[in-house]
Amino acid sequence: MIDLQNLSKSYGAFDAVRDLTLTVERGELFGCLGPNGAGKTTTIRMLMGILVPSRGQALIQGLDCHAQRAEVQRHVGYLPDTPIFYDYLRGREILQFVAEMHGFPRREAMARAEQMLDEFGLREDAQEYAVNYSLGMKKKLGLACALIHEPQVLILDEPINGLDPRASREVQERLRVLAAKGCTIFVSTHLLDMAERLCSRIGIIHKGRLAAVGTPGQIKQRLVTSDQDASLEDAFLQITSQQDAEQGDAGARP
């Protein structure tokens, strides 16, 4: 469903993403992990056709994410890290507008908007302007917009950032259900404990490169220690530290 082939994005001499090759299968809940500035959001923006790759290619369902961006977005639901809405549209109006932009007739768009308001607990704030929403409410509204057309692929950048514990758990459970129904989910997060519980497979990006990929168990098996109580966080820190050391050694060679 998602196929990255030597995907790269450079800004002058700086490689934000370098030779990223990765496949995510149908129904997989894939976690993209990495430190700040690792290239996660840049990768997501290339998947959504917002950024043009410097080299390589990003495909979703065999469609080129840049050259066929409009067609790709028919099949994809996208939640950016910081959702941005028209300030002077109300929550209900935004959902209806998004549904109509996906081609639903006015009556069905209204029905889908009402359904999303109920499912995400936004009914009481449906007539409030989005500019007045809290970060958590904007995240819920953004996820509702991403799901309103029942996409086959979800691309989510920090989906539970800003949510309270109850809303966070509800979103995670919703993602599990969607994946079980065959939806392919690519989620970027800094929350390693959540990724370990939620994701069927994980990729660690560090300094624009894919440093490790596998199930949470396979990632943890890469630890030098044999501590059975080791966490994904332990593995993440060791893998990224090793990458730093290797790149430092390479830079020091004559």
DSSP line for the chain: -EEEEEEEEEETTEEEEEEEEEEE-TT-EEEEE--TTSSHHHHHHHHTTSS--SEEEEEETTEETTTTHHHHHHHEEEE-SS----TTSBHHHHHHHHHHHTT--HHHHHHHHHHHHHHTT-GGGTTSBGGG--HHHHHHHHHHHHHTT--SEEEEESTTTT--HHHHHHHHHHHHHHHHTT-EEEEE-S-HHHHHHH-SEEEEEETTEEEEEE-HHHHHTT-SS--TT--HHHHHHHHHHHHHHHHHHHHH--
Confidence at residue 247, expressed as pLDDT on a 0 to 100 scale = 64
Structure confidence at residue 225 (pLDDT):
61
% of the chain exceeding 90 in pLDDT: 76
Low-confidence ranges of the chain (pLDDT < 70): 224-228, 247-254
- pTM for the model: 0.91
Tens digits of residue pLDDT in 163-212:
999 999 999 999 999 999 999 999 999 899 999 999 999 999 999 999 99
Domains identified in the chain and CATH numbers: 2-252 (3.40.50.300)
Tens digits of residue pLDDT in 79-97? 998 898 988 899 999 999 9
